[in-house]
Amino acid sequence: MPICQKCSENFPNTITIDGRRRNLQRRSFCLQCSPFGQHNTKDLCRPPVDPQRLEYFICPNCRQTLQRSEFYWRRDEAARNTYCKACANKQTVERQQRLKKQAVVYKGGRCRNCGYDRYIGSLEFHHIDNKSKELDISHSRHTNFEKLKPELDKCILLCANCHRTRRSMLGLRVCFRNLEREKGIEPSSGAWKALALPLSYSRTKC
């Protein structure tokens, strides 16, 4: 028989609930600790709070004495983070800024199209082939530069203006080609370069 990981009591392998036979062999908790269908096992896995422990912690970074709720849970949810939320957020931002600087330097430090290099926040990474994109570089919070390099090799560095322009032109190309296919017109390789279809736009149907 399975043993509950919370109360250490045995519980049956199967049980009838609402007229249906339910298999409990893979459950980690009995039905008393975790009633069927409540999906509360995440909270049960957390260690019990000892009332004798202090409800306040000292952040080793800012040296402030703060309540327990001002500290994030770790990823495994086994304990609270060492630093308070404010310091943890600050460290995350600083780590992302260092990663962005390394990535910009790695890709040449300036816009490949116009040469812009005045402000690093205006430089962005454009995937040459969007189908090969495996990682969103701008949201890479928990990775290091070495793991980011393979994804950077698929990109070119552009300023925000050139990036928006290129994405708009790609969108127009797809839009025009789809429009031509719907009308039964032979796709053109140059029509998408216009900002909009002219009023007199008409091509010979196949």
Residue-wise DSSP of 33-67: TS-TT---HHHHTSPPPPTTS-SEEE-TTT--EEE
Whole-number pLDDT of residue 200? 46
Whole-number pLDDT of residue 92? 87
Whole-number pLDDT of residue 137? 79
Whole-number pLDDT of residue 8? 83
d(Cα 20, Cα 23) in Å, to the nearest integer? 10
Whole-number pLDDT of residue 179? 58
Domain edges within the chain = 1-45, 97-162
Which stretches of the chain score pLDDT less than 70?
A: 40-54, 141-142, 170-206
Whole-number pLDDT of residue 51? 46
d(Cα 174, Cα 180) in Å, to the nearest integer? 10
Q: What is the pTM of this model?
A: 0.53
d(Cα 7, Cα 13) in Å, to the nearest integer? 17
DSSP type of residue 23 = E
Whole-number pLDDT of residue 202? 45
d(Cα 102, Cα 143) in Å, to the nearest integer? 13
Whole-number pLDDT of residue 123? 92
Whole-number pLDDT of residue 195? 42
Whole-number pLDDT of residue 196? 43
Please answer whether residues 186 and 206 qualify as being in contact, where contact means their C-beta atoms are separated by less than 8 angstroms. yes
